[in-house]
Structure 1
Amino acid sequence: MTADQALVIVPAALVLDWLFGDPRWLPHPVVGIGRLIAALEKLLRRLPLPERGSGVLLLVLTVGVAYGAARLLLAGAFLLHPAVGLFVSSLLGWSCLAARSLHGESQRVAEALARGDLPAARQFLSYIVGRDTAELAEPEIWRGTVETVAENTSDGVIAPLLFLMLGGPALALAYKAVNTLDSMVGYKNDRYRQFGWASARCDDLANWLPARLSGGLICLAAPLVGLSGARAWRILRRDGRNHASPNAGLPEAAAAGALGVRLGGTNSYFGRPVAKPAIGEPDRPLDGVAWRGAVRLMYGAELLLVAGWLAVCLALLAAGGGGT
């Protein structure tokens, strides 16, 4: 992907995401990746291989197919016509971004809470978090909503956008394959502890830079959206590692600081309570104001990344460079 192509593809993908999100009627590559993972798991578990070895093979095959299929599709599209190539590239890039979708899915929870419908809020929250939601009280529903917006600012927004900028739609789709693998097989239970080990570790590695970039971008975005950048930076430095994941705590800590709220605490997974360290300070309540602030931080961080990238691309073009 050349710099001049990128200057079309990335903004187009971004605008398509902002306008349309993730339409349920449109076939989505990640759905296909999920079906591929499920089929490969069934096949690989039948082979006489150690579970960890089968999991490595699952990772290689899934990411390889996703990346290779995208490259072939894009090559064919550009062979037909450069405009067709740019159009298909923009569609694939759009499919990897999730800001509008994350906003919309979390808004369903917020709207249910605003009208006092706790059962609906619990159900909608269950679609976007891995924890048990059936017995959650209103404050815990708000916490789950804010936490998922903050965490997914990194792996649902900044990370795929970064990979799209660095390597085009094929690399962004390869990242989404890693992300989907982790969400499907990256559990620390008896079924997936060994089989999902490679996928979980690869997801940690793929998100290492995006998570740290997201934390910094959230701190920079905070004063631009009416929140505290200084407090975001302080809590990021203090509590960014207060999480079992090496990455998820960083955007959560930056958001918690900017919002003045406390995240973390005990969650239940498959009926088993899991205590997590606290992140942030409870200066303000977890409520609709906090959720709206988290959404503003997400968009602010995304816009800052795009602005910085556009500046680099334009500088390269001005200097006579052609690649990204």
Structure 2
Amino acid sequence: METAGIALLLGFLLDLLLGDPHFLWHPVRGIGWLISHWEKLLRKAFSKSQRGEMAGGILLVLGVIVYTLIPPAFLLWLAYRAGTGIGIAVETLFCYQLLAARSLRDESKKVYDALRQEGLPAGRKAVSMIVGRDTENLTEEGVVKAAVETVAENTSDGEIAPLLFMACGGALAGFFYKAVNTMDSMVGYQNEKYLFFGRAAARLDDVLNYIPSRLAAVLMTAACWLTGLDGRNAWKIYKRDRWNHASPNSAQTEAVMAGGLGVELAGDAMYFGVLHKKKTIGNPDRKIEPEDILRANRLMIVASCLGMAAVAAVKWGWKLLF
């Protein structure tokens, strides 16, 4: 396995073991600052018309991608010039920071702990840290559903997609993906403020996640069988409900999660005080409960391990054959 593959495997293991240490600077924070800074500049530079906002949004995408890639590219170039071991160490650190399985598990488990130990108000506060919807009026069922949906969607966005990009192009491909995905999460909203300005970021994110979201769905279905969930129903609901979302990708993993757990996800939700009508995903075979957060996390971790194993097998098999 080449140096980038070794770095990816080591980074994957570090992520599972350690998660994101809060004392360590995280590159996604830098990407977020870059997006906010460029947005302010571009909104001043371009008119408020539809054409002006779309042009500004395209420049945002180009500028953020370029400025995101320059620092890690330079650091990797310096590191590998200093020695293969140093290069692998730096690339391992980057891969470790670009994966999010452990942090996703930890942050969603805080919702479970808050509900169990402190009650609904604490659960609402905890889930507000990981979702974009309004949470102040959510029921316990709504809080749990929001947390489970976040785990489902981020199994692809936070783990399988960056894993796949880094498997194909090393840490720099991972930074490219994270730049686009972070832009989508910050400006890719279907509201008055971002409908045109965020369109380029949203569309590019849809393209980049098309294959990873479907691969994640397959891995999650396999993981259902390994974690004691209903793999047969997961595949059934996936085939039926994978398009029940405005995004072409989000329902892919949510459908598997809903089917595997035997619950109903999605449905109407409030964003910035506005009710958004959404289709449901899955069947309400039973009422969703806080323990489903733990089950969703187990499913996400096992699917991630299957993804890493598949990547390692492909890379090892390719080297063996060629």
The residue type equivalent to 1:235 in the other structure is I
**2:46–2:53 contact (8 Å) kept in structure 1:** no
Q: In structure 2, what is the equivalent of residue 255 of structure 1? A: 257
Residue 165 in structure 1 maps to residue 163 in structure 2: no
Say which of 26, 41, 64 aligns to 1:62.
64
Residue 109 in structure 1 maps to residue 111 in structure 2: yes
1:193-208 alignment to 2 at 5 Å?
A: 193-208=195-210
Q: Give the whole-Å Cα distance in 1 for the aligned partners of 2:56 and 2:71.
A: 22
The residue type equivalent to 1:57 in the other structure is L
Gaps of 5+ in 2: none
1:66-215 alignment to 2 at 5 Å?
A: 66-215=68-217
The residue type equivalent to 2:245 in the other structure is H
**1:259–1:284 contact (8 Å) kept in structure 2:** no
Gaps of 5+ in 1: none
Q: TM-score, normalised by structure 2?
A: 0.96
**1:261–1:285 contact (8 Å) kept in structure 2:** yes
Q: Give the whole-Å Cα distance in 2 for the aligned partners of 1:48 and 1:219.
A: 46
Residue 12 in structure 1 maps to residue 10 in structure 2: yes
The residue type equivalent to 1:276 in the other structure is K
1:158-307 alignment to 2 at 5 Å?
A: 158-307=160-309
Question: Which secondary structure does the structure 1 equivalent of 2:247 belong to?
Answer: coil
The residue type equivalent to 1:297 in the other structure is L
Q: Give the whole-Å Cα distance in 2 for the aligned partners of 1:250 and 1:116.
A: 33
The alignment covers a number of residue pairs equal to 318
The residue type equivalent to 1:292 in the other structure is L
**1:21–1:98 contact (8 Å) kept in structure 2:** yes
- Deviation, 1:48, is 4.0
Q: Give the whole-Å Cα distance in 2 for the aligned partners of 1:83 and 1:116.
A: 47
Q: CA offsets per residue over residues 205-259 of structure 1, 9 Å max, x none?
A: 1111111111111111110111111111000000111111110001000111011
Question: Which secondary structure does the structure 1 equivalent of 2:2 belong to?
Answer: helix
Calculate percent identity across the aligned residue pairs.
Answer: 45
**1:59–1:199 contact (8 Å) kept in structure 2:** yes
The residue type equivalent to 1:113 in the other structure is L
- Deviation, 1:126, is 0.5
Q: In structure 2, what is the equivalent of residue 27 of structure 1? A: 25
Q: CA offsets per residue over residues 169-222 of structure 1, 9 Å max, x none?
A: 011011000011111111122221111110111111111111111111111111
Q: Give the whole-Å Cα distance in 2 for the aligned partners of 1:201 and 1:265.
A: 23
Q: Give the whole-Å Cα distance in 1 for the aligned partners of 2:291 and 2:41.
A: 48
Q: Give the whole-Å Cα distance in 1 for the aligned partners of 2:301 and 2:285.
A: 23
The residue type equivalent to 1:232 in the other structure is A
Q: CA RMSD in A?
A: 1.2
The residue type equivalent to 1:131 in the other structure is R
Q: CA offsets per residue over residues 87-117 of structure 1, 9 Å max, x none?
A: 1000001111011111000000000111242
**2:213–2:249 contact (8 Å) kept in structure 1:** yes
Over 4 Å off, 4+ runs: none
The residue type equivalent to 1:165 in the other structure is A
**2:112–2:291 contact (8 Å) kept in structure 1:** no
**1:266–1:276 contact (8 Å) kept in structure 2:** yes
